[in-house]
Amino acid sequence: MDHVEFTKEMKKDYTILAPNMLPIHFKLFENLFLAEGYHVEILQTRGRRIVDEGLKYVHNDTCYPALLTIGQMMDALHSGKYDLNKTALIITQTGGGCRASNYIHLLRKALEKDGLSHIPVISLNMSGLEKNSGFKLTLPLLRKALGVLAYGDLLMLLHNQTRPYEAREGASREVVDRWIEKLTAMFGEGRGYSAKEIEKYSFEIAEDFANVPVTGEKKVRVGVVGEIYVKYSPIGNNDLEEFLFRQGCETMVPGLTGFMLFKVDNRLEDIKLYGGNPAKFEVVKVLFDYLVGIERHILRAVEHGNTVTNRFTVPSSYAHLKQLIHGVIGYGCKMGEGWLLTAEMMELIENGYPNIICAQPFGCLPNHIVGKGMIRNLKNLYPRSNIVPIDYDPGATQVNQENRIKLMLAVARENMEAGEEKAG
C-alpha cells in the first residue's frame, strides 16, 4: 500500500498524534518536538475502550501492543477532538523480525477500513525504511532525543527508588514535575542537550531526589522486565508500577538506554558476523559510543546522589550485562528484547531485586524464549530468585494477573523475613 507523505507544508499546522508508552520520557519527548516546531501530542487516554477499539481493527491473535497502540490512535481519531484533515499519526518502525515492524502497516490498514487513508502515518525509524519531507530525524534532533533519553531514565529510576519511602506523600512526584517543567523551558531555549549540560543537570536531579525526606522502613524490592511496551506502558501492563506501589513495594524498571544500546550493538554484531559496509560500521560505532556516554552520565548521577544520601541502587552498565550472560544464553538471541531480557533479570537479582515480574504479550515468541524460557536456568543459578511471568492480552483479566503477582509477593515477604531472622 502506498503511504501518504507527511510534507513540509503539513508541519506548519498538522497535529501529530502518538501513542503513550513511558509517561515521563514521552512527556519530555513531546516537549522536545514542540520546541522543534512539530505539534506532537502524546495520547493520555486510558481504559477498556482502548482495547475494544483495537479489537475492531487488529485480530486478537496479533501482538497485544499493536492492538493497544492502534486502538489508542483510532480512539483519538473518533473522539471528535481533532480535525481529521489536519491530523497525522506517528509510530516507531524497527525494521527487524519482530512483529513491531508491521504495526505501521496494520495502522494504515485500520485507517483504510475507516475511510481515513488520507491521514499521513509517519514512520519513526533509524533504518531509512520510510522518509517524509516534513519529518526528518536529523543528527541534531537525534542528539537532543538522546539527551531526553538520559533525563527520562534518571527521573524514572530515582522516582521509583524514592516514592515508596517518602515521608510526605507526593514529594517525589513533585521533583519529577518540577524537572519536566525546567527541562522543557531549557529545550525551548535550545539548551540542556550537550554532554556537559546533561552531566550538570543529571547531578542536580540526583541531589533533589536525595534531599527528599524518607522513612527508614524496609520494603520488598521488585524488578520488572519484559517486552518493551508492556514493560513500560501503564495501558499495556494495567498500571503495574502503581499496583506494586500500593502493595508496599519498591520497583526497579531497567531504563530505555540499555535497550537502545542493545539494538545498536546488534547492528555491529551483524556486520562482524556476516560482513557489511565498513563505513556503516564506523557510523554505527559512533552512535554506540555516544550512547555509552549517555549511560555513563546516568550511572554517575546516581552515584553522585549517594554522596548526599547512601540509599540509591546504581544500575549496572550495558557492558556488565553483556558479560553477565556469557555461557548462559547466546548473543545470537537478539529478536525482540533478546538476550538483554535475560541479562536484566540476572542484573536485578545481583543488585538486590530477586523478585521479578516478566511482563509479556501472550504469544510473543521471543519473550517466551528469553523470558519465561530462562526462568528455570536462572533459578538454578540463583536459588533465591522469585520470578513470575505474567501474560497480557485482550482476554486476560486484571484480577487474575494481580492475584498471581500477589502470590509472588507473599513468597517475597517470607524470604525477606527469613533473611532478616538469619541476619539477626
What domains does the chain contain, in order, with CATH numbers? 8-136 (3.40.50), 221-255+315-423 (3.40.50)
Neighbour tally for 48: CB within 10 Å: 9
Q: Show Cβ contacts of residue 366 under 8 Å, excluding neighbours closer than 6 positions.
A: 98, 227, 333, 335, 336, 337, 338
Per-residue model confidence (pLDDT) at position 424:
47
Per-residue model confidence (pLDDT) at position 128:
66
Question: Which has the closest alpha carbon to 170: 82, 269, 245?
Answer: 245
* Grid-cell match 501472550, residue found: 362
CA distances in angstroms from 407 to 57, 175, 403, 414, listed in the order given: 35, 33, 6, 11
Per-residue model confidence (pLDDT) at position 60:
78
Per-residue model confidence (pLDDT) at position 422:
59
Per-residue model confidence (pLDDT) at position 320:
98
Below-70 pLDDT ranges, the chain:
1, 95-97, 99, 127-128, 420-424
Strands annotated E in 162-282: 220-226, 249-252
Q: How many residues are given for the chain?
A: 424
Q: What are the residues facing 220 on neighbouring strands? A: 249
DSSP string, 391-414: EE-TT--HHHHHHHHHHHHHHHHH
Amino acid at 322: K
| pLDDT tens sequence across 294-343 | 999 999 999 999 999 899 999 999 999 999 999 999 988 888 899 999 99
Q: Which three cell numbers stand for residue 48?
A: 477498556
| pLDDT tens sequence across 372-397 | 999 999 999 999 999 999 999 998 89
Q: Cα–Cα–Cα angle for 349, 353, 359, nearest 5°?
A: 90
Distance CA 63, CA 391 (A): 12
Amino acid at 174: E
Q: Show Cβ contacts of residue 215 under 8 Å, excluding neighbours closer than 6 positions.
A: 165, 166, 167
Strands annotated E in 329-409: 355-361, 386-392
Order of strands across the sheet with 355-361? 249-252, 220-226, 355-361, 386-392
Interstrand relation of 355-361 and 249-252 (parallel, antiparallel or unpaired): unpaired
Structural contact between residues 226 and 345, judged by C-beta atoms closer than 8 angstroms:
no
Burial of 93 by CB count in 10 Å (0-12 exposed, 13-18 middle, 19+ buried)?
A: buried
